[in-house]
């Protein structure tokens, strides 16, 4: 689940932007690239399901012009 709040608006248009990545452990987004699991340009809350095989992963979030954000991760059992 994710929640991004307080997205800034400038001249009537959203200035907020965020990208959520699920990266393989040992990979670097800036060196290896990546495709966002979710992109946001305004305040938004919701959930996204991602199906990956067993392994080690980490979440990389790039966000600008939001007051705050929260991400919760649950493993399907």
Q: Does the structure show a pLDDT above 80 at 77?
A: no
Torsion angles phi and psi, residue 71, rounded to 5: -130, 130
6 HSE (CA, 13 A, CB side): 8
- What is the secondary structure of 2-71 as a DSSP string? EEEE---EETTEE--EEEEEEEETT--HHHH----SEEESS-EEE-------SS-EEEEEEEES-SEEEE
Predicted confidence at residue 36, as pLDDT, reads 96
Total domains, the chain: 1
Tens of pLDDT, residue by residue over 2-34, are: 999 999 988 988 899 999 999 999 999 999 989
Within a domain: residue 77? no
Q: Does the structure show a pLDDT above 80 at 57?
A: yes
Its domain, for residue 36, covers 2-71
Within a domain: residue 50? yes
Predicted confidence at residue 15, as pLDDT, reads 93
């Amino acid at each position: 689940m994710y929640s991004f709040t307080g997205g800034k608006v400038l001249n009537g248009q959203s200035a907020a932007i965020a990208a959520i990545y699920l990266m393989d452990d040992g990979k670097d987004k800036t060196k290896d690239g990546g495709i966002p699991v979710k992109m946001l340009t305004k305040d938004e809350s919701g959930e996204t399901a991602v199906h990956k095989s067993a392994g080690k992963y980490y979440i990389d979030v790039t966000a600008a012009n939001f007051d705050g954000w929260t991400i919760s991760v649950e493993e399907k059992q």
